[in-house]
Chains A and B, each alone.
Chain A
Amino acid sequence: MTNNEKLIHLFSEALTIAPELVVDSLQYNTIPQWDSTAHMVLIAQLEAEFEIMLDTDDIIDMSSVAKAREILARYDIDF
């Protein structure tokens, strides 16, 4: 599985939405499934999968799928 596929899978699992709905433009708090609780589940899963610990600023900044990819790249996760 590529890192991008992992990312989509993790979003899909944490937000309990179909993988097809995980697109770059998907934004935090624009669907009921991506609320603050799901966001923390997502963060925990991203950290576990990619073996990183995110800074609080990055957790707050992770406001879309595209932004998540951008932030993870800063932690040496290649997409």
Chain B
Amino acid sequence: MAELMLREGARVIAVARSKDKLEQLAKCLDRLETYPLDITQTQDIKPFFAWLQKQGGLDVLINNAGMMEPKGFGFIKGEDLQQSFTTNLFSLFPLCQFAARLMSKKGGSIINVSSVLAQKATLGQAVYSASKAGGEALTKNLALELAGQKVRVNAIAPGSIDTSLLDNLSEQALAQTLAEIPMQRLGLPQEVAQLALFLASDESQYITGQVITIDGGWSL
């Protein structure tokens, strides 16, 4: 996503927990700026947005952080819930609150990266699915609240995309997923990035509160 946005001329600030990974990314992408931040640490979010405010504001926020640890329902512990919900859902609240205030004057676009699993039941994905479904509900509610301030809020629901998030899936689970995808392949990160670019741009200025699925037909 960062690569595509940069190519389109945007100023892009990549945020992640790992300073090392951010530095590696910045070496590959010219003009990319980085900000190390663990979004699960609520107290660290405000200083980030205060910094953004000093940088001149914010036009687009893409909430792309996520964690997936498949587990049978009977094996889910309280700490699993806490970790997944904090990363996939709870963090969206302060991030969107601060972003909405920065965007309030001239409008903006918030894009929450959900998952096709928010609406599709899959064995072992109860926690991930529930947390992402919460994010989709938040997207719609925020879109309603922020429409008057010209802040659009949408979600992207990717299916199986060829990223490290699939590392936790067994070979068998991956093969089964592929067999269920009518287009018979995994999605590419750049295909999701193109959708994010569309939702970030004025090309989608009348679209808000939508969850757009990109899954090669998996959810059909």
Contacts and interface: CB of A to CB of B under 8 A. Distances in A.
A45 B106 CA distance: 11
A56 interface: yes
Question: Do most interface residues of chain B lie in helix, strand or loop, or is the interface mixed?
Answer: helix
A53 B101 CA distance: 9
B34 interface: no
A45 B104 contact: yes
Interface stretch (A21-29, A35-43, A61-69): A35-43
Question: Do most interface residues of chain A lie in helix, strand or loop, or is the interface mixed?
Answer: helix
Given A37-B145, A37-B148, A53-B53, A44 B46 contact: no
Interface in A9-66: 37, 40-41, 43-45, 47-48, 51-53, 55-56
Interface residues of A, number: 13
Contact of A40 (B46, B49, B54, B100): B100
Interface in B139-153: 145, 148-149
B105 interface: yes
Interface of B: 46, 49-50, 53-54, 94, 97-98, 100-102, 104-105, 145, 148-149
Interface of A: 37, 40-41, 43-45, 47-48, 51-53, 55-56
Given A41-B104, A44-B101, A56-B94, 9 more contacts: A40-B101, A41-B149, A44-B105, A44-B149, A47-B101, A47-B102, A48-B104, A52-B50, A55-B46
